[in-house]
Amino acid sequence: MYRTHTCGELRVTQVNEMVTLAGWVQTVRKFGAITFVDLRDRYGITQLLFGEELNTVLDSNPLGREFVLQVQGKVQERSNKNTHIPTGEIELNVVSFAILNKSAVPPFTIQDDTDGGDDLRMKYRFLDLRRNAVKKNLELRYAVNRSARNYLHENGFMDIETPFLIKSTPEGARDFVVPSRMNAGQFYALPQSPQTFKQLLMVSGYDRYYQIVKCFRDEDLRADRQPEFTQIDCEMAFVEQEDILNMFEGLVKQIFKDVKNINYADQVERMTWEDAMWQFGNDKPDIRFGMQLANLKSAFLKGGKIQANGELINGAGFGVFDNAETVLAIAAPGCAEYTRKQTDELTEWVKRPQIGMQGLVYIKCNADGTYKSSVDKFYAEEKLKAIADAAGAKVGDLVLILAGREERTRKAISDLRLEMGKRLGMRKEDVFKLLWVMDFPLFEYAEEDNRWVARHHPFTSPKPDHIDIMINNNPLIENADKYLEHPYSNIKANAYDMVLNGNEIGGGSIRIYQRPLQEKMFAALGMTEEEALHKFGFLLGAFEYGAPPHGGIAFGFDRLCSILGGSESIRDFIAFPKNNSGRDVMLDAPSAIDEKQFDELQIKLNLK
């Protein structure tokens, strides 16, 4: 061993002990005839003192930043203590030292507030990983990993590895494929998730399965997506939805306790997907604050019906509202005093391409009881008050109203609500609010093919009450314009998402476990019998031999870690992430391969 102690370990109780440390040179400070060096390792920083004699040696062997150093010396109490670091009361009076390895000058500083840009830090990721800020993230990731494993172990779950070289069954996302040399012309696929395998394990009787496992999706990368990502993947047999919700809110609470020392004692709230869409405009609401939506007019169905027909706003001669499919409002608390400049800025904000609205209507609920609006000429004050009341506004609030096509407007008002919540300090980083969103639609309508697609995945069961609707109706959509009237559009799934502070951290469902229902599902998604058998014959086959009722969940491990770490970016929590083009710039991968490899795999390029 090159050391007797780590650089984070020594305290005044060890004064006068002879010790050996090894680590990296963080800083070198020369004061006349003596030199102070901060030596860093994974565990901390210890101050080294090179006295007069060694100082001469240092002169001919100068230390640079990031040199790897081994030192022997005596622990002594510092005269000038540093209360900011755990080793700040001592220093090491160096007796001898060895430079284990030199370092070129690093391309950026190894500090919390580094001077390195994103690209440089990615290229030299091995240096970026030395920074405390990144190290803390990976430590948190490991702590979450450990906590999850312990909880699942104590609850009888077994870690069972599922294969990585599987069969390509593109359905939803695109597969990464792997040419097989031994079976020329054929390909493996990398798993998008171990979904079908964990279901097979349930059929096999392993009634509590988990895995922390890499998954792969070949998608065009939006910001903060990775082609390979990690899931905490779980499945249980002989359970109903309630059992799964209880088990896995327990998991997340345990992680809070172990990793953040937060005692999450509250009941985890639950909300139907319809309520989430109706009240918050999206399916993963941040419920750290209110500011719910008022639906002044809507094309969106709730309980299978349109419940806001616009009677409050229609017919006043304001074409924007009259002609809109949807009009939605929120009441920003205490913002009635916003200046013209501020409301203009908000208007610009919603007109940005990312939001894409034509404009913003506001109503100020003034302290003196009057109402002032950007649409005063269409709506009398009484009407403005009625609208403001409908939006739940109180005196001093600012009502913000958006109008337009349903989907875009709902997304825009949801984004505006989050933005206002942020500006008003209502999205506190140290507050964590969990939420189950439930009763998702089982199907989504795919316009391009005029057919149904699975909102979650093809293995999700309908709610028990809705199984008959699915079985007794033909999935065919005869009139594309009226797809909303097709019975399938109202089938709800036995599915649930776990949402943390406005982020989906996990999702799952109770699965189909009867072959006929699974076949019906494949048919509903437009698969022929032959296709279904070719792709999922093994699963249909398994359901013939005593499949138990089962369900599960998968957590996005990268995302969960980033939220717990208070970061927007999952990349900060992955040791070796890829960039937005799916490249590892450090490795320079992907890259060309040899002729010999093409030859052995019996494939060739076919570049357009």
Q: Give the DSSP H or E segment for 445.
A: strand 443-446
Cβ at position 558, least distance to a copy of itself in Å: 9
Nearer to a copy of itself, 228 or 389 (CB): 228
Q: How far is the CB of 196 from a copy of itself (least distance, A)?
A: 9
As measured in angstroms, the least distance from the Cβ of 193 to a copy of itself is: 14
Q: What is the C-alpha separation between 467 and 521, in angstroms, rounded?
A: 11
Give 85's contacts (C-beta < 8 A, 6+ positions apart). Answer: 44, 45
* Distance of closest approach, residue 81 Cβ to a copy of itself, in angstroms: 26
- For the CB of residue 407, give the shortest distance to a copy of itself in the complex, in Å: 27
* Residues ≥6 apart with Cβ < 8 Å to 199: 235, 459, 511, 539, 542, 547, 550
Q: How far is the CB of 606 from a copy of itself (least distance, A)?
A: 4
User: For residue 66, which of 14, 103, 121, 92 has the smallest C-alpha distance?
Assistant: 103
Distance CA 288, CA 553 (A): 24
Residue 514: name the closest of 548, 470, 474 by CA.
Answer: 548
Residue in the structure block whose two tokens are 């249980």: 236
State the minimum distance, in angstroms, from the CB of residue 240 to a copy of itself: 7
Rounded distance, CA 86 to CA 205, Å? 51
Name the residue nearer to a copy of itself (CB basis): 196 or 292: 196
Nearer to a copy of itself, 481 or 588 (CB): 588
CB of 326 to a copy of itself, least distance (A): 36
Exposed, middle or buried, 480 (CB in 10 Å: 0-12/13-18/19+)?
Answer: exposed
Q: How many other CB atoms sit within 10 Å of the CB of residue 142?
A: 12
Cβ distance to a copy of itself smaller for residue 36 or 164: 164
C-beta closer to a copy of itself: residue 297 or 559: 559
| CB atoms closer than 10 angstroms to residue 328 | 29
Cα(474)–Cα(486) distance, rounded to whole angstroms?
A: 9
CB of 100 to a copy of itself, least distance (A): 6
Task: Decide if 399 contacts 423 (C-beta within 8 A).
Answer: no
Residue 545 C-beta: closest distance to a copy of itself, Å? 5
In the 8-state DSSP scheme, what is residue 106?
Answer: P
- Pick the closer one to a copy of itself by CB: 164 or 338: 164
CB neighbours of 127 closer than 8 A, spacing ≥ 6? 66, 106, 107, 108, 110, 121
Residue closer to a copy of itself by CB (options 33, 593) is: 593
Nearer to a copy of itself, 424 or 601 (CB): 601
Shorter beta-carbon distance to a copy of itself: residue 223 or 607: 607
Q: Smallest distance, Å, CB 349 to a copy of itself?
A: 32
Can you list the positions of beta strands (E) in 459-502?
A: 495-500
Q: Specify the residue, 483 or 513, whose C-beta has the smaller distance to a copy of itself.
A: 513
Tokens standing for 34? 């003596």
Residues 6+ positions from 308 with CB-CB distance below 8 Å: 295, 296, 297, 298
User: Is the Cβ of residue 98 or residue 380 nearer to a copy of itself in the bound state?
Assistant: 98
Enclosing H/E stretch for 18: strand 18-31
